[in-house]
Amino acid sequence: MFYRQYYVSPLGRLSLVASEEALYGIWLEGQNHFQAGLEEEKLVDTSNPILEVTKKWLQAYFEGENPSPNILPLAERGTDFQQKVWSALRAIPYGQSRSYGQIGKQLSCHSAQAVGTAIGKNPWLILIPCHRVLPNTGHIGNYAAGEAAKRFLLHLEGLRFDKM
């Protein structure tokens, strides 16, 4: 069974889903891969302790704090490669960014496209900071939740770009 609660954020309504043991995902309604891997009939719209901690984490984040994502247990999801990419994302410090190429080099992967595809399927929006990955061009790049959401998150963390 999965528990779901909604959290109204400055980006819009977020769907938070957890089991008894771990956080399964955070998605902005309407984003790419919304609630991927979940069947609506298996979701119970009620809270649990993991969702309560997730809401507190999000509140602190949107208030401009830098809460540790390590307080939330994450469900085992994704392929081995996706898990490696998501782990690399977790290592990007608050207020900093990396390029797709830098992430690929770190993982000994020569395909920025493969890295980008794995990033796009990250089920933990904001918590695993895929918004901190930018193309080498200096532009903002793609984001599963949309360009406006990515701009908002980068600005919240104090990142500014000339080409944004």
Amino acid at 46: T
Task: Judge whether 54 and 82 are in contact, CB under 8 Å.
Answer: no
| Rounded-to-10 torsion of CA 37, 141, 136, 156 | -100
Task: Judge whether 27 and 35 are in contact, CB under 8 Å.
Answer: yes
* Residue 81 CB coordination number (10 Å): 14
Is 109 noted as a catalytic residue in this protein?
Answer: no
Q: Is 103 left (phi over 0), alpha (psi -120 to 50) or beta?
A: alpha
Identify the active-site residue in 74, 130, 145, 154. 130
Dist CA 114 CA 134 (whole Å): 14
* Residue 23 CB coordination number (10 Å): 22
Tokens of 26: 């955070």
User: Which are the catalytic amino acids?
Assistant: 130
